[in-house]
Amino acid sequence: MAEPTAAPPDKAFPVSWDQFHRDARALAWRLAGQGDFKGIACITRGGLVPAAIVARELGIRLIDTFCVASYHEYKTQGNLTVLKGVSQALTEVGGEDGEHVLIIDDLVDTGATAKVVRSFLPKAHFATVYAKPQGRPLVDTFITEVSQDTWIYFPWDLGLSFQAPISGHKA
């Protein structure tokens, strides 16, 4: 992976695989009984892992992808591009407006992606593992809120390396 081109944010929130799995299962617990979900539309790429966990926990077999590109060089959110919408199979069981569809993503940040996905599936239940204040009103269910100026480092983006102390002093 290439080094990010933008300066890292002041607040970093690294998430381990164990923590992410616990948070995604907590999302499934929170979603259990909230709707008659017939299928999942996961937003790629970040929504793939939590969608798999939620689908397992809720017994949902129909999982589709809504492919959106918005982050570039891992650091900056740029122009939003819809690469692929949901399939006919999902709209057949979930309804044209998504009434029985569960949308899953790892994070809602500014809400730009959520707005686009909601325009395709306006009645779907939108759930994310993490939420930032700007995007939070666009999701129905989330687990953890972080400040807008926090960058979440997901486990699939990390390798093992030294982390500088928060206070800035050298170890």
Please list the active-site residues. Answer: 105-106, 109
Backbone angles phi, psi at 6, to 5 degrees: -90, 155
Q: Residue 125's closest CA among 80, 164, 83, 94?
A: 94
In sequence order, what are the residues at sequence separation of 6 or more whose Cβ sits closer than 8 angstroms to the Cβ of residue 62? 38, 39, 40, 89, 90, 93
Distance CA 31, CA 21 (A): 15
Considering only the C-alpha atoms of the chain, give the largest distance between any 2 of them, rounded to a whole number of Å.
57
Distance CA 116, CA 70 (A): 11
Give me the residues paired with residue 63 across strands: 40
Question: Do the strands 76-84 and 63-72 form a parallel or antiparallel pair, or are they unpaired?
Answer: antiparallel
